[in-house]
Chain A
Amino acid sequence: MEAQAPSHVQSSWAYLTIFAALVVLTGTTVGAALAPLGHWHIPVALLIAAGKAILIYLFFMHGLESGRLVWLIVMGALLCLSILLSFTLADYRSRPDDSHLRGLRSAACEQCRTTSG
């Protein structure tokens, strides 16, 4: 068995570089929010956030040097979360458009309010 102690120690500068990159990405995400991106705001913001998360995972949390098992655990949890998100969103996206009903409902509400009032 090999000595495990200072198995993989990066230089302090490596960590400082990662931190600088994270700060730059924070600035980018704020800048992107001000830019006229329309519907692309959230995808771009999530993309930048994912990039930051990957940096933190790989370097700060030593994702690079930890074994396959840790990677499996993280991916498993993310897969599970994506199931929750995608199946639930799929239900909402595939429901028939009932906005006309919503209008009717609020009209009916108005009516009952005025008649009772």
Chain B
Amino acid sequence: MTTATVEPRPQMREPRPRGRIDYLNVDFGARSWLLTTDHKRIAILYLVSITLMFIVGGLFAVLIRLELATPPGDLVSADTYNRLFTMHGVVMLFFFLIPVIPSVLGNFLVPLMIGAKDLAFPRLNLASWYVYMTGALVALWAMLAGGVDTGWTFYTPFSTRSSHSYVIGTAVGVLILGFSSILTALNFVVTIHRMRAPGLTWFRLPLFIWSTYATSLIILLGTPVITVTLLLLAAERLLGIGIFDPRLGGDPILFQHLFWFYSHPAVYIMVLPAMGVVSELVTTFSRKTIFGYHFVAFASIAIAVLGFLVWGHHMFVSGQSVYASLIFSFLSYLVAVPSAIKVFNWTATLHKGSVAFQTPLLYAFGFIALFTIGGLTGLVLAATAVDVHVHDTYFVVAHFHYIMVGGTVMAYMGGLHYWWPKMTGRMYPEGWAKLGALIIFVGFNLTFFPQFVLGYQGMPRRYHEYAPEFQVLNVMSSAGATILGAGYALPMFYFLWSLRSGKEAGPNPWGATGLEWATSSPPPPHNFETTPTVTLPPYIYSRKEADVVG
């Protein structure tokens, strides 16, 4: 029990004088970016391209909400509407939500947080961005050529027999994207195992690293299954063999099994990194160590493992055996346990902390509230009997938007604000940012809360027209979407503004622990001038806490 010489935070350096070399000004020109192997530059490449995909997916959402502002299908035809919601889903899920936190924040932060010079395979990391771009371009090409109308789930036999849209092009885009995810995840796993700084034991790792690690495991074990399933789908569509077609001896439910074996865990690919971000935000802005570090860390692993055991809850009305449904239903309830552990531990961390209501924490609050609602309604859907009633209604749509937009996007925005000074060396304008967070929170709830009610009243999803009695709630939802859109646009402007005119951030503007704050902002090309040595667990904010663990 050494107590006297404990330094509460990793050693900080003074901001270097102007003219210092950092990863942004070490080299200039398109070539230096397109051929870079620096994980920080690759993170920026991802940031730009994923933001563009978010805008594309958002435009589809705008058209959907415009159509649904009035009961009759007056803006677009039913066929066009099918393509709109499918492409909204495909772009947002595969090209935004799944890669966003790992590829942008993870790429930037994993080496910094563990005190490494770079990821284990820097060239592979650059390759994964090119693979991502290839997948995105193939999918965008399929969309421009005419789009796809199967729903993002590509259910057979509609997708293989009946659909007259660009199913194979889109599927190939998604398939290519899968390889990008695998390369990134492989890089993270190897890096976290083999490249940690001296003294950085597993239980001294920041929780963002734990959740990134758990996410990578899911990506590595789940993604190959969807890759090969999409290959089977393309083969069936091309060759007319009944792999999933009941008329030819195949079984469409098998497609759903293989699809959801990846795509349910994919939900945890989206939300686990978000949970990691929130753990970082909550400790920093309450100036306290995380409550129950081990529980939060192992909850990430538990979610990753349990996530592979629950996919059948998407298939309660598909013709799946009732016994299988019961087991899947029970296991789905189990996922609530580690999720709740995290929510309770964040809350306990905030309790009696000196809470600073800065923008990133506002987003973290948004995450905790909306994720809790999304998670609890997930339990409603996991109940086999209730699911029959609300299956394929707007209740489901509202549920997963609470998890994905209310959860993942909120945490991503929070993380982006939190690490923006590290990434760019500049502060964003706090007042505007708080306003943006508020607008997003209000807009989000106005958009999606009415959809819970709509779904419970029986409005089915994926139709371009609806009964007139649903109009009031739909208008509310469309109005909320407008506000939400404005809320997302605002940060894009002030982030760009801050690049030139933002306040100099200095190495550690939040007074946070963590190795990423121990180097300058923006970090030098190889992250650290000397490899740091770690002697303490993370999140030690006071002498008292240091004494306890010391």
Contacts and interface: CB of A to CB of B under 8 A. Distances in A.
Interface of A: 69, 76-77, 80, 83-84, 87-88, 90-96
Nearest to B322: A94
B321 A94 contact: yes
User: Which 10 A-B pairs rank lowest in CB-CB distance, beginning with the nearest?
Assistant: A91-B324, A94-B321, A94-B323, A95-B321, A80-B221, A88-B257, A91-B321, A91-B320, A84-B261, A83-B308
Which of under 10, 10 to 19, 20 to 34, or 35 or more describes the interface residues of B?
20 to 34
B488 to A, nearest CB: 36
A64 to B, nearest CB: 21
Q: Classify the secondary structure of A's interface with B.
A: helix
Nearest to B217: A76
B321 A87 contact: no
B352 interface: no
B312 interface: yes
B324 A87 contact: yes
Contact of B257 (A76, A91, A93): A91
A83 B309 contact: yes
B263 to A, nearest CB: 13
A96 B320 CA distance: 10
B260 to A, nearest CB: 10
A87 B320 CA distance: 11
A67 B258 CA distance: 32
B321 A84 contact: no
B72 to A, nearest CB: 37
B225 A90 contact: no
A88 B327 CA distance: 12
A98 to B, nearest CB: 10
B500 interface: no
B312 A91 contact: yes
B31 interface: no
Contacts of B254: 88
A84 B312 contact: no
26 contacts: A69-B193, A76-B217, A76-B221, A77-B221, A83-B309, A87-B257, A87-B312, A87-B328, A88-B254, A88-B257, A88-B261, A90-B321, A90-B323, A90-B324, A90-B327, A91-B253, A91-B321, A91-B324, A92-B321, A93-B321, A94-B321, A94-B322, A94-B323, A94-B324, A95-B319, A95-B320
A38 B217 CA distance: 40
Contacts of B311: 87
A83 B328 CA distance: 12
Interface string B299-314: 0000000001101100
Contacts of A69: 193
A87 B323 CA distance: 11
Nearest to B323: A94
A69 B193 CA distance: 9
Contacts of A77: 221
A46 to B, nearest CB: 20
A14 to B, nearest CB: 29
Contacts of B225: 84
Contacts of B328: 87
Nearest to A90: B324
Nearest to A84: B261
B256 to A, nearest CB: 10
Interface string B318-341: 011111100110000000000000
B364 to A, nearest CB: 31
B540 to A, nearest CB: 29
* Max chain B Cβ within 10 angstroms of own Cβ: one of A91, A94, A96: A91
A35 to B, nearest CB: 30
Contacts of A88: 254, 257-258, 261
Contacts of A90: 321, 323-324, 327
